[in-house]
Amino acid sequence: MDSSDSKIYSLAGAISRFVKSGDHISLGGFTINRNPMAAVHEIIRQKVKDLHLYVHSNGQGLDELVGAGAVRRVEAAYCGNGRFAPTCICFRRACRDGEILVEDYTNHQMALRFLAGSMGVPFLPAMSSAGTDILHQQGFDKEVRNSDPAIPPAKLEVMDDPFARPGAVADRVVLVPAVNPDVTLIHAQKADMYGYTVIEGLTFSDAEQVKAAKKVIVTCEEIVGVESLKKRPQSVAIPGFCVDAVVEVPFGAYPTACYRYYDYDPVFLEWYRKTAAEAETFSDYVNGFIHGTGDHDEYMEKTLAGKGASVLLADPDKGYSVRIKRKS
């Protein structure tokens, strides 16, 4: 490969090229960790609307997108921010007001849906949810499912194990349909110009979300040299041929954590909880902090209000900050 095969984009360029209103998009990360926040803010800035959003267990990215009115439907296992917001705040309001439709799956089912998409199979078998409302209640009715060919015609299907021995009681499995988003956006620690991506620490469902997608944007703390990754292929979670755009965005997961780089910002997350609690104050936040800034550097500057990000920087041994105050 040579530099003509480079996939490096600006963030604004990557979002405008690959994400459009009505798309089915998927966000990586988990609750307060490695949400692709810079990309989320840029989607809001570019006024993308009507998104069909897949997340595993998200988190700040989901909540800001929903709060900004960019989302019409969500499929997820969990929508919370740990102790900072046991249920995502704008998300809760949007559910109450009927502004979004939500289809609920379990953690394992959602992980398997991304895995199915990444494997190029139409479904995978799960062992959870028999007898529950996850199996019996539908967030999307028939009309919604018929309205968009990218949504499978059923939420889940139950079947008996065809390999059961004659006379034995067959295991009952719950088939989950594959997810193949139009675009997956993740934030990682390192990537090279061809898209080979290193995720340090837990990978969550990011690798599967990436492989399942038609187009992929990886934002990362650092774009590194191709040679540096060839010294440690074992740490590369995603092959380059799965990736369409690589964007260097330092602090691109802020205010969520990025292992070995920085921690989540408990001060911001507490402030966010109060701000997001009312539609008016949240709207001020979106206008002032997202539309009112041109890019992620400006957003960071405004958010940290001159305090600087140094308190968040990861301790080299622990991989998170040992200086933040986490007790509220």
Partner 1 sequence: MRYTSKEMMVICAARKIRNTDIVFCGTGISVLAAVTAKCWHAPGCTILFETGAVDPSLEDLPLAVGDPRVMHRASAFCSLAETLAFLQNPKTARHVVGILGAAQIDCYGNLNSTRINNGESGEVRLPGSGGACDMASSAGRKIVFMKLERRRFVEKLDYLTSPGWLQGGNTRERHGLPGPGPCHVITDRGIMEFEEGSRRMVLSRYYPGESVRDLAARVEFPIDVESSKEAFAPTEEELAVLREKADPEKLILD
Residue 159 contact partner, candidates its own copies, partner 1, none, CB within 5 to 8 A by sort of partner: its own copies
Residue 279 contact partner, candidates partner 1, its own copies, none, CB within 5 to 8 A by sort of partner: none
Q: From the list 193, 238, 246, 300, which residue makes contact with partner 1 (rule: CB under 8 A)?
A: 238
Q: From the list 99, 200, 222, 295, which residue makes contact with its own copies (rule: CB under 8 A)?
A: 200
The distance of closest approach from Cβ of residue 207 to partner 1 in the complex, given in angstroms and rounded to an integer, is 7
Q: Which stretch binds its own copies (CB under 8 A): 41-49, 131-139, 153-161, 220-228?
A: 153-161
Q: Does position 148 bind its own copies by CB under 8 A?
A: no
76 forms bridges with which residues in the sheet? 104
Using the structure block, give the residue that is written with the tokens 């968040």.
Answer: 312
- Binding track over 155-174 against its own copies, x by CB under 8 A: --x-x-xxxxxx----x-x-
Choose among 22, 28, 32: nearest CA to 40: 28
Footprint (CB under 8 A) of partner 1, residues 87-116: 87-88, 91-92, 95-96, 102, 104-109, 111-112, 114-115
- Binding-site size for its own copies (CB under 8 A) equals 29
- Do the Cβ atoms of 206 and 29 come closer than 8 Å? yes
The distance of closest approach from Cβ of residue 165 to partner 1 in the complex, given in angstroms and rounded to an integer, is 16
- Do the Cβ atoms of 77 and 106 come closer than 8 Å? yes
Q: Which stretch binds partner 1 (CB under 8 A): 15-23, 43-51, 118-126, 278-286?
A: 118-126
Residue 177 contact partner, candidates partner 1, its own copies, none, CB within 5 to 8 A by sort of partner: its own copies
- Do the Cβ atoms of 226 and 191 come closer than 8 Å? no
Choose among 262, 223, 191: nearest CA to 37: 262
Query: Rg for the chain (alpha carbons), in Å?
Result: 20
| CB proximity list for 206: less than 8 A, separation 6 or greater | 28, 29, 34, 186, 188, 199, 237, 238
d(C-alpha 80, C-alpha 66), whole Å: 13
The dihedrals phi and psi of 183, each to the nearest 5 degrees, come to: -140, 135
Q: Please, which residue, 45 or 320, has the CB nearer to partner 1? A: 320
